[in-house]
Amino acid sequence: MTHVNEDSSRPGTAVWTVCAAAAVTATAVAGARAVEADSDWYRALRKPPWQPPPWAFGAVWTPLYGTIAWSAGRALGRARGRDRARLIGALAADLALNAGWNHLFFARRNPRAGLAGTVLLDLANAHLIRRTAAVDRTAAASLTPYAAWCLFATALNLSLVRRNRTPGGSPGH
């Protein structure tokens, strides 16, 4: 376990933060391309009464993505050697699963596949937080709202699967 007490404003951290921000932005764009919240299919899904309004998702994800980029940049700037390589791998897997959920759920129109994807994302979040904490506990702590929101998304996805039990999770009439 490597703990470096260097100031997070040093140049290496800035470079890693820019790299992390680029990766997070690519994730957000790739995921957003698959979202069809206005599609007839999605509107026809039976949703729980506790589902947030559509505008809330953008309002929540924007700062969460910013926090992921900041946290990753801070931790990657402090990590060295194997710790950095492991952290990069954990971040890459997490971001791939993050964008992948939108494709599983919306592009495939399959809440069951989305549920599998979000459970994998929850596991990846736990792994990312663990890897980040090995380098920087502050950066790891800043990832907890992201992990919590993803757990909420898992519960919401599970509710959609249960409420829409036809093959593939498509709305039944």
* pLDDT tens, residue by residue, 81-124: 999 999 999 999 999 999 999 999 999 999 999 999 999 999 99
Fill in the DSSP letter of residue 29: H
List the one residue out of 53, 37, 55 whose CA is nearest residue 45. Answer: 37
Q: Does residue 150 have a pLDDT over 70? A: yes
Q: What is the rounded average pLDDT for all residues in the chain?
A: 91
pLDDT, tens digit (0-9, with 9 covering 90-100), for 55-70: 999 899 999 999 999 9
Question: Which tokens sit at 76?
Answer: 């990657």
Specify the pLDDT at position 6. 46
CB atoms under 10 Å from CB of 111, counted, come to: 28
Contact 16, 77 (CB under 8 A): yes
Specify the pLDDT at position 13. 87
pTM of the model: 0.88
Q: Does residue 170 have a pLDDT over 90? A: no
List the one residue out of 57, 26, 80, 65 whose CA is nearest residue 143. Answer: 65
- Give 173's pLDDT tier (boundaries 50, 70, 90): very low
Contact 127, 152 (CB under 8 A): no
